[in-house]
A = this chain, B = another copy of it.
Amino acid sequence: MIEVGMKDIQDAYEQIEPFVFKTPMIYSEPTSRRVGSEVWFKMENLQMGGAHKIRGALNSMLKLSPEELKRGVVTASAGNHSLAVAYAAKLMETSAIVCVPEYAPLTKRQKAEKYGAQLLVCGPHFEDAERKAFEVARETGRKFIHAYETPETIAGQGTVMLECFREWKDFDAVLVPTGGGGLLCGTAIACKAEHPETKVYGLQTEASAPWLRSFHEKTLHNDCAYAPTCADGLEGAIGWPNVELALTCVDDIFAVTEKSLREGIKWMSVMHNLMIEGAAATCLGALFERHEALQGKRVLCLISGGNIDPERFCEICRESYPWQKEGKSKGEVA
């Protein structure tokens, strides 16, 4: 079992604090009104690089020896972790190679390149990118920086929740977008240590939900159906170590529909002038779909990232929903 405790999260925060934003936490009046809960957003979409991933990447890389740093790093990710590693490598004056699958959004690739990383595009699935990254690590001696499955990454991502607790503690539930499960496990460990009554729910999209059966049946099940998804950050198969860890600290996993995701993206743009990515929009989706489970509760949503391709964002902005006024405003002409 992966060993991560509150002490690791606290240590991680001490290490990374000078390099990351203390992102704002805001209360969302319109969301609260709509879903009958009290809803807060922890805005990691405003984090360096536009996502929480910099926390885990930095915590991993700050532990490297001077020799390891000299050889550089390599990683595989659908996007946000890649650009986090690229950014961390820039800060630490080393070089990074990042392997991404073909579906990695342009905006995430461009940011990784902007930070000076070398980008390798590696086939249709996340697994293709991962395979290539392992190969590069083996051949070049570069250190592989895992996106979600090491104590360092999990402790790093857990610092998000630590920051929230420094502002306020009494959440009834925390909603956590879940891909590999690093943010989920880090959050749950922090919650169980600091405020054990807080329920922690992992969120996936129905289009890619291996966590759902794996968690409920306590065995790894990557054999679910995979469909195209707006939540590129959550796409793909998972590993047993994080599921095993999650079974000790996470309360449940939900899967939300793509329709709800898209609605969540539009909702955040209309109500809060924010661009959020599909992964983060699972929080809105879960609130929109599960009024019963979260009804009347104080719910913290981890808005895990905001890196969405403008083209996709604009496509979603053109969709219309019942809570919007249709077409023209009704103002009378005076």
Chain A residues with a Cβ under 8 A of chain B: 21, 23-24, 26-27, 29, 43, 45-46, 48, 50, 99-100, 106-107, 109-110, 113-114, 118-122, 132, 269-270, 272-276, 306-308, 310, 313-314, 317-318, 324-325, 328-334
Contact = CB atoms under 8 A, between A and B. Distances in A.
A120 B334 contact: yes
B331 A109 contact: yes
Contact of A273 (B26, B46, B132): B46
Contacts of A132: 334
Contacts of A331: 100, 109, 113, 119-121
Contacts of A269: 275, 310
Nearest to A99: B334
Contacts of A273: 45-46, 50, 274-276, 306-308
Q: What's the number of copies of this chain in the assembled complex?
A: 2
A114 B325 contact: yes
A308 B325 CA distance: 16
Contacts of A23: 24
A39 to B, nearest CB: 14
A76 to B, nearest CB: 11
A101 to B, nearest CB: 11
Binding site of A, secondary structure by majority: helix, strand, loop or mixed? Answer: mixed
Q: Which of A50, A132, A272, A307 has the most CB of B within 10 A?
A: A272
A275 to B, nearest CB: 4
B26 A46 contact: yes
Contacts of A99: 334
7 contacts: A26-B46, A114-B325, A118-B332, A119-B329, A121-B332, A273-B275, A273-B306
Nearest to A48: B29
A87 to B, nearest CB: 10
B106 A328 contact: yes
A280 B330 CA distance: 27
A310 B333 CA distance: 23
Contacts of A318: 310, 314
B119 A272 contact: no
A312 to B, nearest CB: 11
Given A21-B27, A273-B274, A310-B318, 9 more contacts: A23-B24, A46-B272, A119-B330, A120-B333, A273-B275, A273-B306, A275-B275, A310-B317, A313-B317
Which 7 A-B pairs rank lowest in CB-CB distance, beginning with the nearest?
A273-B306, A119-B331, A24-B24, A314-B314, A109-B329, A120-B334, A310-B317
